[in-house]
Amino acid sequence: MKVKVINRSAFDLPQYETPQAAGLDVRANIEEPVVLRPLQRILVPTGLFVELPEGYEMQVRPRSGLATRHGISLVNTPGTIDPDYRGEIKVILVNLSNEDFELKPGERIAQLVVARFTRIAWESVEELSETDRGTGGFGSTGTK
């Protein structure tokens, strides 16, 4: 599938890093390093603008390497870019560690995953069908 893109960043377009990768690594389009203090959030520009086909979304997800090595994640994960959005893709990073983190220009900060979605129409009812699980919530299926 082809997705139209405008790249106003100083970097190459996001790429899949392995042949079977689901996510494209997106980079911080900043001119100077930025220090992210513990529990601080920052909105990071990417310089990318996309036109997704109808029925598709682009999910913005954390990078596992940044999370495990530095405690860097995303505040709204996954973030959703709707097919009718035409603005710049920006990433809300958060530092969940106890140490400062220096974000460098061009650093890979998140993954972009394109996925098909289905819109629904609500059907109001008085009851839902029965299942073995029923109303069991978090942890109700136990560990086996």
pLDDT by residue for the chain (144 residues), tens digit each?
999 999 999 999 999 999 999 999 999 999 999 999 999 999 999 999 999 999 999 999 999 999 999 999 999 989 999 999 999 999 999 999 999 999 999 999 999 999 999 999 999 999 999 998 888 777 777 665
- The verdict on residue 133 lying in a domain is no
Given this model, what pLDDT does residue 144 score?
Answer: 57
Given this model, what pLDDT does residue 96 score?
Answer: 98
Q: How many domains does the chain have?
A: 1
- The verdict on residue 142 lying in a domain is no
Q: Is 26:92 a contact under the CB 8 Å cutoff? A: no
Q: Is 111:62 a contact under the CB 8 Å cutoff? A: yes
First to last CA, the chain: 40
Q: Which domain holds residue 84?
A: 4-116
